[in-house]
Structure 1
Amino acid sequence: MTNRREFMTLAGGVALSSFLPLGPAWAAGNAIKVGYNVATLANPFFQGMTKGVVDAAKQFPQMTLLNTNANGDANTQSTMVVDLINQGVDALILNPINANSIVPVVERAHKKNIPVFTLDRGAACGDCQNNFLETDNVAMGREGAQFVIETLKKRYGTVKGNVVDLVGLIGTTAGDDRDKGFMDVFNKAAAENPGLKLIARQEGKFDQETSFNLMSQIMAANPQIDAVFNGNDDNAVGAVRAIRQASRAVPMTDPKHIVVIGIDGTRQALAAIRKGDMDATLSQNPLAMAAQSVKYVDAFFNGDKASIPAHQFWPHILITKDNIDSDTVKTYGLWGEQV
């Protein structure tokens, strides 16, 4: 079993610096050629993550970054990573599209003694990764379910309502784990509260258009919907657009308001929360996560390898209209408004 260093959700006004492991000083050291491959740049979260990697790499004069984008295709990603290996990279930072399909190329790098640092999504091969840095996706799914349950209880005085689950991209660690966390909590609550029902569970694929179309179909078949949990903010933004187009968007104080919660903290989600169209997001911080991954690469070659955890959870935070401008949220960082 790999060692795991877990980080709590940022809450209660605790400074982010309380959670961050300090890497070596950002200074010149041994020359490093780093190959980076992101799943896609169509998603705002990965745009933020790529910006974080690029900006952080610039802080190391000895580091050369080869920046590549798989455009959402797992086969393309594998080909690109093999090409990076053939170009003689010293290390890889990867954001896998699929946890299983990336394994052969990660193992190929491992056999060549090229350290692999997976970011946000991991590879299903255990010790072949030197570091897997992600947010605790199971925990975010659980917290998303709990937010829905508590909001409906506040509305009705008891736990009841018709709920939709727009799952993320199946086959990714993020998509699968978030859905697992959500379903674990929801199923337990539904067993104890017969009035709480899951009326639809569809794969939104972390995609606005897919989620918009699915939510439109679900609303056409279900006149009463109380809440939607979304695998990410793109799913949520698509759901919000479908709700608005169906003329079922009403203020949060209206009993007919459909509660919408997403994950990531993107610019569109933050804007929707400020407007009252979306209730919450469980925000990650891809800028800070990416910078830490780059620092671990430097630590591997120029610092203390023992300081690099095999698996690390980055802190996340629940953002609602009530706390979006709070000092706690500002300390964590509204990354979506910075990209």
Structure 2
Amino acid sequence: MKRIKSVLIHVFAMLLLFSLCSCSKDNPQNNTQEEQTVPDFEPLTDIVEGRDDIYLIIKVLNSNYWDTIVKGAKDAGEKFNCNVYYSGTYKETDWKNQEMLLDKCVSLGADAIILSPDDSIGLSAKIEEIHSKNIPIVLVDTAANTDGYDVCYMTDNLYAGNIAADEMLNQLYKAGFSENEELSVGILVGQSSSQTINERLAGFYQYWITHAPSKWTIISDIKNCNGDISLGDKYVNSLIAENENLHGLYATNNGPTKVIAKSVLANNSKDIVVVGFDYSDEIKQLIETPEYHASTILQRQYQMSYNGVETALKLINGYKNDVKFEDTGVVIVNIDNLEDPEVKSVIDTN
């Protein structure tokens, strides 16, 4: 018990240090984010005068995962007869442009805002400011470090991290690794200041230290690519080259999962187990290739935004939400359950 407590203290101290260091030293985009151009809001639905106007701001435009978020909002807008507009940024670190988009929502007369914050801390003050003007705010995918919003539809990310660690262990055993042999697992994240990512890290560590064999360790140097695909590719290749006993790679979100899957295939690294999040062509190919051992944790992001629009309309009309967080759940996908009806249903909306 003392060992577990000691390790937990070390883990959370390390995660805090990781977050603080990555936000400053390892984030080359910080000085240029304000200059990046983001598109104006575009309508997702037919625009009908007199209907409520809901504005959606996403993290990453032109991304499989976030396109599903957009589709959920569009379908809900059509179902519930409201006007839905959307915009977003091109990188998950670009919270300054999200702040600008939030101000634009107010100037355009938004009746409600649906937001997935690029930075859980950096956007907190702006979220509070807008919510204080009695504009309903629904968060999707990622929470913010404030109570100044109405509800957040998201994955229980601490639990999702637990599930990812359990799946990593299952896949390592399935790949034939023994508890008596030394092996290591590397981690790649896409951003350090996201509450979502930090919870998935904490959940992974939490489960690992209580269930993994003592000789199976996590590499302490967590790699953070800050949404930069080429940097992520460099990090993964260095992990593979520099760690002889590397037999597992964990990605905390969509971008790093794509990077890891692509690199493992390119390096023909059939002895490396991959566990990531969300569904892309890269992770799909890896899962469907029998020589590899890979899994991904699918979120129900379509439901996040669909429910978000429905709830936003209720909030506009005076509804008071008693629950701050709504867990939309996850599904594990691997080669053994690809034909499972529930899995196929979630894949179809990804």
Question: Shorter chain as normaliser: what TM range?
Answer: 0.7 to 0.9
8 A contact 1:233–1:281 mirrored in 2: no
- Is it true that 1:165 corresponds to 2:187 in the alignment? yes
- Cα deviation, 1:66-85, whole Å, max 9, x if unaligned, reads 31213331111101111111
Indicate the larger mover: 228-237 or 266-275.
266-275
Alignment map for 1:281-296 (pairs within 5 Å): 281-296=296-311
- Is it true that 1:300 corresponds to 2:315 in the alignment? yes
Q: Which residue of 1 aligns with 2:36?
A: none
- Is it true that 1:93 corresponds to 2:114 in the alignment? yes
Q: Which residue of 2 aligns with 1:183?
A: 205
Label 1:207 to 1:147 Cα distance change in 2 as closer, same or farther (>3 A): farther
Question: In structure 2, what residue type is equivalent to 1:286?
Answer: Q
Question: In structure 2, what residue type is equivalent to 1:328?
Answer: E
- Cα deviation, 1:177-215, whole Å, max 9, x if unaligned, reads 11111111223345xx33112234212445543322111
1:143 to 158, 163, 172: 163
8 A contact 1:70–1:77 mirrored in 2: yes
Q: Which residue of 1 aligns with 2:216?
A: 196
| SS at 2:79 equivalent | coil
| SS at 2:118 equivalent | coil
Q: Which residue of 2 aligns with 1:236?
A: 257
Q: Which residue of 2 aligns with 1:108?
A: 129
Counterpart CA distance in 2 for 1:175 and 1:43 is 18
Gaps of 5+ in 2: 1-47
- Cα deviation, 1:5-47, whole Å, max 9, x if unaligned, reads xxxxxxxxxxxxxxxxxxxxxxx9x831112111221432112
- Is it true that 1:313 corresponds to 2:327 in the alignment? yes
8 A contact 1:164–1:225 mirrored in 2: yes
- Is it true that 1:32 corresponds to 2:52 in the alignment? yes
% same residue? 19
Alignment map for 1:3-14 (pairs within 5 Å): none
Question: In structure 1, what residue type is equivalent to 2:264?
Answer: I
In the TM superposition, what is the alpha-carbon distance from 1:293 to its structure 2 partner?
0.7
Label 1:332 to 1:219 Cα distance change in 2 as closer, same or farther (>3 A): closer
8 A contact 2:279–2:347 mirrored in 1: no
Label 1:55 to 1:294 Cα distance change in 2 as closer, same or farther (>3 A): same
Q: Which residue of 2 aligns with 1:330?
A: 344
Q: Which residue of 2 aligns with 1:268?
A: 282
Counterpart CA distance in 1 for 2:215 and 2:177 is 11
Counterpart CA distance in 2 for 1:270 and 1:207 is 21
8 A contact 1:211–1:236 mirrored in 2: no
Question: In structure 1, what residue type is equivalent to 2:296?
Answer: T
In the TM superposition, what is the alpha-carbon distance from 1:307 to its structure 2 partner?
5.7
- Cα deviation, 1:100-130, whole Å, max 9, x if unaligned, reads 111122112112100100010122102x110
8 A contact 1:35–1:89 mirrored in 2: yes
Paired residues, number = 296
- Is it true that 1:58 corresponds to 2:87 in the alignment? no
Gaps of 5+ in 1: 1-27, 251-256
Label 1:70 to 1:243 Cα distance change in 2 as closer, same or farther (>3 A): closer
Counterpart CA distance in 1 for 2:218 and 2:349 is 32
Question: In structure 2, what residue type is equivalent to 1:93?
Answer: I
Q: Which residue of 1 aligns with 2:196?
A: 174
Normalised TM-score (structure 1): 0.80
Q: CA RMSD in A?
A: 2.3
Label 1:293 to 1:176 Cα distance change in 2 as closer, same or farther (>3 A): same
Indicate the larger mover: 51-60 or 138-147.
51-60
Indicate the larger mover: 291-300 or 234-243.
234-243
- Cα deviation, 1:137-163, whole Å, max 9, x if unaligned, reads 111111111111233344234275211
Counterpart CA distance in 1 for 2:293 and 2:83 is 41
Question: In structure 2, what residue type is equivalent to 1:50?
Answer: V
- Is it true that 1:212 corresponds to 2:233 in the alignment? yes
> Which one scores higher on RCO, CA 8 angstroms, separation ≥ 6?
1
